[in-house]
A = this chain, B = another copy of it.
Amino acid sequence: MMQELSIGVDMGGTSLKAAVVRGAEIVQRSEPVNTRACNTPQELTERLGERLRALREQYPTVRAVGMGLPGFVDHAKGMVDSLTNVPGWYDVPIRQILEQACGLPASVENDANCMAYAEWRLGAAQGMQDVVCLTLGTGVGAGVVANGQLLRGHLGAAGEIGQVSIDYHGRIGHYGNRGAVEDYIGNNELMREAKMLYATTPESAPAVLETPVHLENAAKAGCAVAQALWDDAARKLATCLLNCYYILNPQAFVIGGGISKAGELLFAPLRRYLQTQIYPPHFAKLKILSAKLSSDAGIIGAARLALDDLPHN
């Protein structure tokens, strides 16, 4: 079964990528579609349809297509309810559109769930029954596996851990909710915090201070301000993970995306903050793992999900 081919599609805020996938391997990519150049779901899905038909022509044995989208997706009904940062996507019957566009059975899912699905089925969390797979970037997303199943919740909105509050009187976020962790450690907020902190300390800021990589380099070069920022981000992320832990009692956290690339700068304080806030015999059995799959995890997970959803599998 692992040798079967399927197509994975990952729709992001700026580009839509599709590829033929075998297991965790990308066999053939198609030219990305610029999401922003498409004004309507129809325009985008038409261009996507062209890509899918071309891939299928080239690889006639592909059996299914899976697509991850950034927002609320109803997997069972095959509908996009709404997308977070892409206007115009409301109640779009995306599964049906995909099936008509390329004639393959289709599955649709939230993008963070696709990434988590990839890590669970083919990556760092293989074989685990209870695991939370995070992706840290502009947003903080996750997919939850519980009782050996992807957890979707009542409206397909489970795993929105970026919205988990770490402070009940904190900042007001996207949904009017206070203290959402994403509003503290999302890439943009992290950099805003960094600029503010450098502006109020004698320590001189890095010449370029635009992305977390600059903050990573500064910390590795010994800058105390940058080091404190990483520690603080780890503390906040730890609180979010503690909340997941006490609710779900997972065996592992798998952490990927953006700032997770800072490695031990993030992971060392993260482990420390978790260790001091979890019952020791339980902490001893908790795994904190780096994601195994690359930034293609979304494509790979969508492709895998589509195969797993086929009736005979």
Residues of A within 8 A of B (CB): 81-82, 129-130, 144, 146-147, 149, 151-169, 175-179, 235-236, 239, 242-244, 246-251, 276-279, 281-282, 285
Contacts and interface: CB of A to CB of B under 8 A. Distances in A.
Contacts of A278: 175, 177
Contacts of A177: 242, 277-278
Nearest to A142: B247
B176 A249 contact: no
A277 B169 CA distance: 12
Contacts of A276: 176
A152 B130 CA distance: 9
A242 B175 CA distance: 11
B277 A158 contact: no
A151 B156 contact: no
B165 A247 contact: no
B239 A277 contact: no
Nearest to A160: B246
Nearest to A244: B247
A159 to B, nearest CB: 7
A282 B243 contact: no
Contacts of A281: 81-82
A166 B181 CA distance: 11
